Structure 1
Amino acid sequence: MKKSGSQEGKSPSRLIDERIEELGDWRGEMLGRLRALVREADPDVVEEWKWRGVPVWSHDGLICTGETYKNVVKMTFAKGAALADPARLFNASLEGNTRRAIDFHEGAKIDAKALKALVHAAVALNKSKARR
C-alpha cells in the first residue's frame, strides 16, 4: 500500500511543483521564478530530483541545483568556477575549485539576463565536455 504523501512514481517535475507549493512563502516563489528562468534559458533542460529532495537541472550533465533553506534559496552551479560571471552573481561557495552558488534572500532581485547567461554558459561547458 502506498503511503499518503509518497514520492514514489511521481515525476521530478511534479516533485518540484510540490516543493514550491509546500514552501508556501517567498522561498517557494523564488524557487519557482529561478526554475522558470532556467527553463526559459534552456528549453531542453532535464529536471531531476536528487539527494532526498533537491531540484536539479541538467543538460549533458549537471547545470545547477535549487536548494531551499530557512533564510535562503541557494542555486549551486556544479561547474560554476569554470564559468564567466561578469555580472558577479556568484556570492556563495566561492572558496572551492569547482562549484559556485548564488544565495537569494527574501526580497532579492533576480538579474534574469545574467542568470540566463550563466545557464547558457553551463550548458555550453557541459556540451563541450560531452563531446570528448
Structure 2
Amino acid sequence: MAEDWRIDRLDEIRTLIKQAEPDVVEEAKWRKPSNPDGVPAFSLDGLICTLEMYQGKVKLTFAKGASIDDPDKLFNASMQAGVRRAIDLREDDELDPEAFKALIREAVRVNRR
C-alpha cells in the first residue's frame, strides 16, 4: 500500500499547533463504530479546531472561525457557516506555517475573550 500523504499532513499540522500554543490539549472526540479512533480535537480555553481525514483531503474545522481574523485567507471552506470556518488541504496544497500558527494563536485569543 502506498504511503498515505494525509497521515504526514496530520503530523505536520499537529506539530504546528503545538509550536503555536504549547499548552494546547489534543483529545479524541466523537468516537463511533465508523470512526473508532474518534476525531482529533485541539483545545485551549475552549475548542480551537478539529482535524479530520476525508478521501482526497484533510479538513481543519475551527470552532469559532467566523470570529477569527484571517488576514492570510487560510480559510477556504464552510465560509457560509454561522460560527465555524474550515481549511481543506489537498495533497499538493501548500500551508504557510507562520500564517497557520498565527491563526492558531488568534483562535486561542478569541477563546479567551
Residue 78 in structure 1 maps to residue 78 in structure 2: no
TM-score (norm 1): 0.78
Hey, which of these two has a bigger chunk of strand by percent? 2
**Offset of 1:110 from its aligned partner?**
1.1
Hey, which of these two has a bigger chunk of helix by percent? 1
Q: CA RMSD in A?
A: 1.2
Residue 105 in structure 1 maps to residue 90 in structure 2: yes
Matches within 5 A, 1:108-119: 108-119=93-104
**Offset of 1:71 from its aligned partner?**
0.7
- Runs of 4+ in structure 1 displaced over 6 angstroms? none
Q: Which runs of 5+ in 1 are unaligned?
A: 1-23
Tell me the percent identity.
Answer: 54
Residue 59 in structure 1 maps to residue 38 in structure 2: no
Q: Deviations over 1:45-64 (max 9, x none)?
A: 01110012100100010000
Structure 1 or 2, whichever has the larger Rg, is 1
Residue 50 in structure 1 maps to residue 29 in structure 2: yes
Q: Tell me the matched-pair count.
A: 106
TM-score (norm 2): 0.90
AA aligned to 1:95 is Q
